[in-house]
Amino acid sequence: MSILYQSTRSEGEAVTASEAILQGLAPDGGLYVPTEIPTLKESLKSLSTKSYREVAYAVMKEYLTDFTEEELKACIDQAYDDKFDTPEIAPIAKAGGDYYLELYHGATIAFKDMALSILPHLMTTAAKKNHVKEQIVILTATSGDTGKAALAGFADVPGTKIIVFYPKGGVSPIQERQMVTQKGENVSVIGIHGNFDQAQTGVKNLFADEALKEKLLAAGYRFSSANSINIGRLVPQIVYYVYSYAHLLKIGAIKNREVINVVVPTGNFGNILAAYYAKQMGVPIDRLICASNENRVLYDFFTTGVYDKNRDFVLTSSPSMDILVSSNLERLIYRIAGDDAEQNAWRMKSLVRYGKYDITSLMRERLEDFYGNYATEEETAQTINQLFSEHGYLIDPHTAVAATVYRKYVSETADREKALIVSTASPYKFTRSVMQALGKESDEDDFTLADRLCALSGIEIPKAVKEIRTAPVLHDTVCEADGMKAEVERILGLA
């Protein structure tokens, strides 16, 4: 069966998986979604005996149907190799009776590695399949982790350039250091005076700029995206939910077909959307628990049925979730609207014009799988401290948001089905926040704090942190949010 991809905003011609990956964003500004969500062909019991690579193939072949077996397996083999510090790729730890899916064992110690390790290979394969002659320019906004993972994935990949925008002062010192020290002849990193939503809106506007598109083509370039709006990011994320269920089955933590709950710290909504897709494919997931920080726009949406970004933007200790416009939520809105592109499109227009939209009572009923809540900064720090002091397990602030929200969920519902809490980043990526939570506040720099955290916890400092400690800063450009287009034109020689 061939799966095609349709825009969430119009009933235009559907495209193949490789075309959707290359374009990133649909021409009408919508996001590509599969015309149907496929079911898993192989049983979870059978998958429990498979490696991560084998599970990745079993899942991704159902979505990327115009890739040959040879092409897809080559992409998978190149992605999930010794860049990861564990052969399991996505190990599961048990702490305090709960299971933590550790997605930070890749090159940049954050969950974005899981998808961005494979996206460059999918994209270059897609370019060959579609006889693309132009050089692909990856244009990306990051709230912290996507940027470095994309830079690492695309650095010096032939036929590509990558330009990453991040909010100056809106990411952790380690996150910024990872980006501004990135090597590669084809990479550019730019800070903006503004927040992530402004960076993301700026990137979307550049994609929609027809005059710029013509200038690009004339110069031999074409844009694509490495953000989670690219379906080539979303599909690989589905894999680790299938793999983690199969792994829990393998170790005897659950029985075959036993339902579990999944708890995901989320800002842009891509990670939890992948869990939703996994459930639609047949993975026995019951509740999808959406954990927000003090930028509680998703919590308010699930509580009221109104998405409203008209609020103060809060800088928190979990910066990858400091987001008021959750782009991937659009894919879910399209789905619960009955795959009605017109209904979805006017809501997205309302979001741009008025900063908000609401959904119907029927659409709210279709959200019954989801539960939303949020964690304050104080609660986040308390959870980090408690989990480490009581169980010796160290987590970062994003994971702590998820663990906090899960406790609230259990308190409210008394639901004690086994839970998989998604751990999205290494605590070493946020050493200052973690040390503060542990009561070890200090004015020392983040690398000295990493040494102290290592001595305190006995957990080795990851290679990704050691490497950037003395690395020179290679990217120091900063611009205003309205100057992003000029920077892109300068970098590409279009000005």
User: What positions carry a catalytic annotation?
Assistant: 112
386 touches 95 (CB < 8 A): no
How many angstroms separate the CA atoms of 55 and 278, rounded?
13
Torsion of CA 58, 62, 65, 70, to 10 degrees: 0
DSSP conformational letter for 158 = T
99 touches 242 (CB < 8 A): no
Radius of gyration of the chain from Cα atoms? 21
Half-sphere exposure of 434 (CA within 13 A, CB side): 30
Tell me which residue has tokens 């299938």: 242
Residue 419 burial (CB < 10 Å; 0-12/13-18/19+)?
A: buried
Q: Classify 469 as helix, strand or coil.
A: coil
CA angle 232, 269, 181 (to 5 degrees): 65
How many angstroms separate the CA atoms of 231 and 221, rounded?
21
Q: Classify 265 as helix, strand or coil.
A: strand
Phi, psi torsion values for 461, nearest 5 degrees? -70, 130
Cβ neighbors of 375 (< 8 A, separation 6 or more) are 291, 292, 293, 294, 383, 400, 401, 404, 405
DSSP conformational letter for 425 = B
- Residue ranges with strand state E in 225-337: 260-265, 285-292, 306-308
Q: Distance between alpha carbon 161 and the CA centroid of its chain, in Å?
A: 21
What token pair was written down for 271?
A: 């990670």
How many angstroms separate the CA atoms of 115 and 76, rounded?
10
Kindly tell me the sign of the dihedral angle through the C-alpha atoms of 12, 302, 149, 475. Answer: positive
How many CB atoms are located within 10 Å of the residue 417 CB?
Answer: 14
How many CB atoms are located within 10 Å of the residue 142 CB?
Answer: 29
